[in-house]
Chain A
Amino acid sequence: MNTQIRNLFLVFAFLFVALVGMSSYWLWRAPDLEARQGNPNLLVRQLLIERGLIYAANGETVLARNREQEVDGQTWFRRRYPERGLAAHVHGYSTIQRSRTGLEESLNDYLTGSNADLATLLDRAGDTLRGLTRQGNDVVTTIDANAQRVALDALGGRCGSVVALEPASGRVLVMASSPTFDPNLVENRFRQATRSNAPCDPAAPLFNRATAGFPSPAFIPGSTFKVLTAAAALDSGEFSATSEFDDPGYCIEYGERVYNYSDQAGPRAFGRVDLGDAVENSINSVFCNIGKELGPRVILDYAKEFGFYEDPPLETPGDERAPSGLWSNGRLFDPEDPNQIDPGRLAFGQERLLVTPLQMAMVVATIANGGVLMRPHVVDRIVAPDGDVVTRTRPDDLRRVVSADTAATLTPMMVRVVSSGTGTSAQIPGVEVAGKTGTAETGRQGQNDTGFIAFAPAGSPRVAIAVYLQNQSGTGGATAAPIAKAVMEAILRSNP
């Protein structure tokens, strides 16, 4: 019987090796398994990390903090957002079941303290051995909490967005997207978080209208784009402040008339005007002719210099930012053959142009900053638990887009828009505001995309702003300009 017993032992030895093999196999599969929904291990490991806090620019208003909870002898940290929808699209959310968005996603390594050099790694190994909680770094944003609230209130539940930049530094002072959402609800009441009765379809409250697209950006720039066209016209040397035009009320393209913006009285004709008059009164026919003269290639090349056709630079995740430009059938469209584009309509911001408010804020901030484009940033500094500053964002000039002369020539034209043109409702007592309105027809009655871009004070700009709204029946001057005024006032007041 001994042979049999020996054989039996060999069989068991083999089976036991198979058991160890099976467990090893799961270890090898671990990276794939960890990512699966319903696996508590990775999730709980995240809950054990005390994420860093996220602050508004004042370093006091807490946008994201943690709530502690004792479970199975461990301290769990759950994310809370005390300001709820205030800057929800900027910081996003960090949940266990639904991953992360916004700065919570893109700065996850900093917030969880995983941004380690060797010394911190060694420190952390010691902490783990002692059972200490891992602590993340705090993030201080550039968001002006007060102005942000003003922007959100002014948007008042309409579908739209406000982005305000500090022209000289690129600091994002306001980034509001409406309708907004309560990030506290995302974890357990996701349907409630995504519900909205905002007057647009889809309302998509989680979607950051300031920077993102689905996949294309949400707004048609309309006449606000004329700032870019005018800058290109001046900077290319083809036109000057004194260039004169004849406006019969329309321009002729492909043998057909393209009319000026028409109110109840019908399209207006301005007759003999210069470039300043054209900007002030937003005369389509003039820009149509400028477009035909410059050609679409020149306009698009300047647009690219301003940042079009690239994701606008920011610290938020790449998938929450979309490039502005011509969009055709849900795809960014950069034609090789200029005949594929209507140069006249391109020049006054129609064609198939779609823009993000951040991109248009970059355009107007560049003019405000004398032609130099600064890299926009929403993170001011990252602070370690011991108070040391881990990184601090320094102003970074991306490039000179137009000459200082061009900017200086364009600014008074934009001032005229607010003082006596289409944007008078953006006037701030005692402050010179330079701006440009936009009312883009979507082809449906009462569903215009309206916009207003501006900077102030015109002489030494401290704020550049872009406001865009969807589905409006009024003009940009009537709907968007008052919002810009309110937000700029708030910013100028708090940063005197």
Chain B
Amino acid sequence: MSLRTRELVNLVVLGIVTTIGFVSVYLASQEVPEFSTTSLSYAAFFLALFVVAHLIVRIRLPLADPHLLPIAGILTAIGLTMIYRIEPDTAFKQGVWVVIGVGLFAGACLLLRDYRSLDALKYTCGIGAIVLLVLPAVPGLGLEVNGARLWVSVGPLQFQPGEFAKVLLVIFLAGYLRDNRELLSMGYGRIGVPSPKHFGPLLLIWGGAMLVLVQTNDLGGGLLLFSIFLAMLYVATGRWPYVAVGLALFAAGSWALYEAVPRVGDRIAIWLDPWAEPDAAGYQLVQSIYSIAAGGIFGTGLGRGVLVRQDGETYIPYLETDFIYSAIAQELGLAGAAAVILLYLVFCYRGFRIAMSADDGFSKLLAAGLTATLAIQTFIIVGGVSGLIPLTGITLPFVSYGGSSIVANFLLLALLLMVSHRVNEGVEGRR
């Protein structure tokens, strides 16, 4: 079976699961359950979208990994289903964003002949990332939502530049670390201190990014970018001390923030004792935990959980964005939630396999960085809403409601598939 046929088989499985999900939510939303073709047509449209993506991949990247696209598809389907169950109008908007995301995915596959040309643009990408991160702080452009300035409003369109910045940052770091990894790995003894000449620009970029994020008050994004940086630094140099120093730096930074920014202190206090103020500061986390606990092993079933109040608001604010995992855990149970996490783990596994079989440093670092981005983001938000780590607002890749997030993650997927195709092409060529 060719790679693409395998992908198609995976997509058929996706189709069945999606249809069941859509239909059950549709049935649950009705007082007298009655079957209708509306839910089926939604599922069919969604599936057609991914078949288009599949065809593009078949034409342009026939040797790419056959698992990543179906996994992204099923995560998107789970997200859409949950969002539809919470608020059908929002699901419709998300659907539009998925169409745009798949469109950009196709565009990237068709237009970007060789992703390695991005290597030459690494500094442009680095600067681009910073510009994107600064944008929300620009007066007139920025928009403050929930205490954080991370939105940009251009006309009727609003987007979160941070989501795209993370992809640009990975490209920059892949190029930069490939060039400087020997130097960075050298040094005196095991705890090497490389010359500021090589390490400086890197620290500068990181410091700038952190500063901007602290200024925009987006802690989740800051944590994500910093963790990506550490992960890629480790992959490039193989030096745990970097990670150790980085973590120490981060701890020191957090402590400073804890002292300086009340918001960070609050988050940590809530994390340590969510029940100190269950109706005020701790409300979101406490409700999220109730929701996870209420699901049991197999969940209440789609549409049968306790998510929406009498007045139409959700019990957990930002349920369809940051807290979508809590909704999944309640209605699909621990089994469903664990399955979602397993999907991310498989995605991670495939992504790192691509990185390991790549034969040039840039490709390796790019694939590893993109994969790590997705993994870290998943850990930060799922860990946050379940109380494992302090809660910081960030989207669950492919699942959460959010246009920028969906589009950026489809671009991430496109890049990963491009690397995968080239890697396998190389393997075939040598055979």
Name A's B-contacting residues (CB within 8 A): 1-9, 12-13, 15-16, 18-20, 22-24, 26-27, 29-30, 33-34, 36, 38-42, 44-45, 69-73, 75-76, 130-131
Give complex CA distance A117, B361 in Å. 68
- Interchain nearest-CB distance for A318 vs B (Å): 30
B388–A4 CB distance below 8 A = no
Docked-complex contact B278 and A38, CB < 8 angstroms = yes
A40 to B310, CA, bound (A): 11
CB of B290 closer than 8 Å to a CB of A: yes
Q: A72 and B289 in contact (CB under 8 A), knowing A19-B379, A23-B337, A26-B386? A: no
Chain A residues near B278: list those with CB within 8 A: 36, 38
B161 CB-CB contact with A under 8 Å:
no
Alpha-carbon separation in the docked complex, A24 to B334 (Å): 7
Are A131 and B294 in contact, with the CB atoms below 8 A?
A: no
Shortest distance in angstroms between A186's beta carbon and chain B's nearest beta carbon?
A: 19
B268 contacts the other chain (CB 8 A)? no
Closest-CB distance, A76 to chain B (whole angstroms): 8
- The answer to whether A29 touches B293 (Cβ under 8 A) is yes
A residues less than 8 Å from B338 (CB atoms): 20, 23
What 1/0 mask marks residues of chain B from 292 to 303 whose CB sits below 8 Å from any chain A CB? 111111000001
Residues of A near B293 (CB, < 8 A) are: 26-27, 29-30, 33-34, 41
With an 8 A cutoff between CB atoms, is B246 at the interface?
Answer: no
How many Å from the CB of A342 to the closest CB on chain B? 53
Q: B306 near A: Cβ within 8 Å?
A: yes
Q: Does B231 contact A (CB under 8 A)?
A: yes
How far is it, in angstroms, between the C-alpha of A16 and the C-alpha of B292 when the chains are bound?
Answer: 16
**Contact between B344 and A16, CB atoms less than 8 A apart:** yes
From B238, B294, B308, B383, A41 is in contact (CB under 8 Å) with B294
User: Which residues of A sit under 8 angstroms from B33, Cβ to Cβ?
Assistant: 130-131
Determine if A16 and B31 form an interchain contact, defined as CB atoms under 8 angstroms apart.
no
Choice from B279, B308, B386 contacting A23 with Cβ under 8 Å: B386
Task: Say how far B131's CB is from chain A's closest CB, in angstroms.
Answer: 29
Instruction: Evaluate contact between A30 and B296: CB separation under 8 angstroms.
Output: yes
A-contact bits for B348-368, CB 8 A (1 contact / 0 none): 110010011000010011001
**Residue in B closest to A37 when the chains form the complex, CB atoms:** B278
The CA of A76 and the CA of B311, in the complex, are separated in Å by 13
**Which residues of chain B come closer than 8 Å to A13, judged between CB atoms?**
345, 348
Residues of A within 8 A of B28 (CB): 73, 131
Q: Is the CB of A6 within 8 A of B356?
A: yes
Name B297's contact: one of A1, A5, A27 (CB within 8 Å): A27
Q: Apart from A4-B238, A6-B352, what are 12 other A-B pairs with CB-CB below 8 Å?
A: A5-B368, A12-B375, A16-B342, A16-B378, A18-B383, A22-B383, A26-B293, A27-B292, A71-B309, A73-B303, A131-B33, A131-B304
- A24: chain B residues within 8 A (beta carbon): 334
Chain A nearest CB, measured from B171 CB (Å)? 17
Q: Is B418 an interface residue (CB 8 A)?
A: no
Chain B 178-198 interface 0/1 with A at a Cβ cutoff of 8 Å (1 = within): 000000000000000000000
Q: Return chain B residues, CB-CB under 8 Å to A18.
A: 383, 388
Decide: A12 near B388, CB < 8 A? Known: A27-B295, A29-B293. Answer: no
Chain A residue numbers with a CB within 8 Å of B352 are 5-6, 8-9
Q: Pick the residue among B235, B289, B304 that contacts A33 (CB under 8 A).
A: B289
Question: Contact at B290–A41, with CB atoms within 8 Å?
Answer: yes
B81 within 8 A of A: no
Q: How far does the alpha carbon of A337 sit from the alpha carbon of B352 in the complex, in Å?
A: 85
A276 to B379, CA, bound (A): 88
Q: Are A1 and B337 in contact (CB under 8 A)?
A: no
Cβ–Cβ contact B348 & A19, under 8 A: no
CB distance from A368 to the nearest CB of B (A): 52
Chain A residues, Cβ within 8 Å of B292: 23, 26-27
Q: Which chain A residue lies CB-closest to B28?
A: A73
Shortest Cβ gap from B167 to chain A (Å):
19
A293-B73 Cα distance, complex, nearest whole Å: 93
**Given the complex, which residues of B lie within 8 Å of A72, measured CB to CB?**
307-310
Select from chain A the residue with minimum beta-carbon distance to B314. A72
Most buried by B among A24, A39, A44, A71: A39
* 14 A/B residue pairs, CB under 8 Å, sorted by A: A2-B356, A4-B238, A9-B349, A19-B341, A20-B341, A24-B334, A27-B297, A30-B293, A38-B290, A40-B306, A41-B290, A41-B330, A72-B309, A73-B31
Q: Which single residue of chain B is at the shortest CB-CB distance from A45?
A: B306
B-chain residues with CB within 8 Å of residue A6 when the two chains form the complex: 352, 356
Determine how close the nearest CB of chain B comes to the CB of A63; give it in whole angstroms.
26
- Cβ of B75 within 8 Å of any chain A Cβ, yes or no, is no
Question: Contacts A8-B235, A30-B296, A44-B306: A19 and B291 contacting too (C-beta < 8 A)?
Answer: no
Residues of chain B within 8 A of A30, CB atoms compared: 293-294, 296
Alpha-carbon distance between A178 and B29 when the two chains are bound, in angstroms: 47
Expressed in whole angstroms, the Cα–Cα distance for A22 and B386 within the complex equals 7
Among A19, A39, A70, A130, contact of B382 (Cβ-Cβ < 8 Å) = A19
Chain A hits for B368, CB < 8 A: 1, 5, 8
Chain B residues with Cβ under 8 A from A22's Cβ?
383, 386-388
A427 to chain B, nearest CB (A): 57
A23 lies within 8 A of B356 (CB):
no
Asked if B169 is at the interface of the complex by the 8 Å CB criterion, the answer is no
Measured between beta carbons, the chain A residues less than 8 angstroms from B344 are 16
Name the B residues within 8 Å of A19 (CB-CB).
Answer: 341, 379, 382-383, 386, 388
- Closest A-B pairs by Cβ, 7 of them: A41-B294, A30-B293, A72-B308, A22-B388, A26-B293, A44-B306, A22-B386
Smallest beta-carbon distance A204→chain B, Å: 28
Kindly state the separation between the CA atoms of A40 and B386 in the bound complex, as whole angstroms: 17
Taking CB atoms, residues of chain B closer than 8 Å to A12 are 345, 348, 372, 375, 379
Per-position 1/0 for B30-63, Cβ under 8 A of A: 1101000000000000000000000000000000
Q: How far, in whole Å, are A38 and B315 apart by their CA atoms in the complex?
A: 10
Chain A residue nearest to B305 (CB atoms) is A41
B286 interface residue per 8 A CB criterion: yes
Does any Cβ of A come within 8 Å of B80's Cβ? Answer: no
Chain A residues within 8 Å of B210, by CB: none
Q: Note all chain A residues with C-beta closer than 8 A to B365.
A: 1
Q: Nearest Cβ in chain A — how far from B357, in angstroms?
A: 9
How far apart are the CA atoms of A304 and B364 in the complex, in Å? Answer: 88
> Nearest chain A CB to B290's CB is how many angstroms away?
5
